[in-house]
Amino acid sequence: MSALCVSIHDVAPRTLEACKAIADAVEQVDPAVRLTLLVVPRYHNDASVPPEYVRWIETRLARGDELALHGLTHVDDSPRSASVYGRARRSIYTAGEGEFAALSREEARARIAAGCEWFAQRAWPVAGFVAPAWLTSRGTWEALQDFDFLYTTTLTRFWLLRRGAAAHSGLRAPCVVYSTRSAWRRIASRAWNTALVTASTRSHLVRFGFHPADAGYPGVIAHACALLHTLAAGRTAVTKAAFARSLG
């Protein structure tokens, strides 16, 4: 099966309107696409859970979408890295949102456990974990062995997970994603993603990752929807959990 997984990152009350707009745009491209919603329980330390947000999430679940744990706060509050590379990776690349980029096993485990408990309180199923900005420290990889997640993802790979077993390799899975923080990034993203889709025709899985900020740029959404239409025409669109189960 040639598969397509479409996700919306940073799903939270604060980003609800943008997430709704993106979900509606995807549905206009192909109503059969089921989304993986990457939910942040306390996005930027906001613990509110308004009724409108709950209703939307539960509507999406009833539709067949999936929820995944996307960190706890989406804020990198670990001590500053000693290396130039580490500082650039955690501040320039992610704008300080790589929450799990530098955590120890104990720190990562505590945050993941708190996120799982938040889902359990609402009886919302959660099958996967995706670190904010896909930045996963060694301690986080170790902590994931203590949980029953089916999968995690990094920028270029899809990883099956099993309790008590370290992840040794991942399936190559290119991800179409846009950077919108400046005009030149938006232009470069379009060119890069067009080339990426063209080069990924033989990939077993292609992922498409939206962020709430994308909704603020009609040109980005239009370009993304055109690429998504191309991908959906030749691939089976599934949630990440469904894809993980298909791999056994």
How far, in Å, CA of 77 to CA of 210, rounded? 24
pLDDT, tens digit, 9 for 90 and up, residues 79-93: 555 444 444 444 544
The answer on pLDDT for 120 being more than 70 is yes
Domain count, the chain: 1
Q: What is the pLDDT averaged over residues 144-171?
A: 90
CATH number of the domain to which 164 belongs: 3.20.20.370
179: domain range? Answer: 3-246
pLDDT, tens digit, 9 for 90 and up, residues 203-240: 999 999 999 999 999 999 999 999 999 999 999 999 99
The pTM for the full model equals: 0.92
Q: What confidence score (pLDDT) does residue 87 get?
A: 43
Q: What confidence score (pLDDT) does residue 21 get?
A: 98
Residue 37 has φ and ψ, to the nearest 5°, of -95, 120
pLDDT, tens digit, 9 for 90 and up, residues 162-203: 887 777 779 999 999 999 999 999 999 999 999 999 999 999
Residue 248 pLDDT grade (very low, low, confident, very high; cuts 50, 70, 90)? confident
> CA-based angle 239:133:197, to the nearest 5?
55
DSSP string, 65-100: -EEEE--SS----SPPPSSHHHHIIIIITTTT--TT
Q: What is the pLDDT averaged over residues 33-61?
A: 97
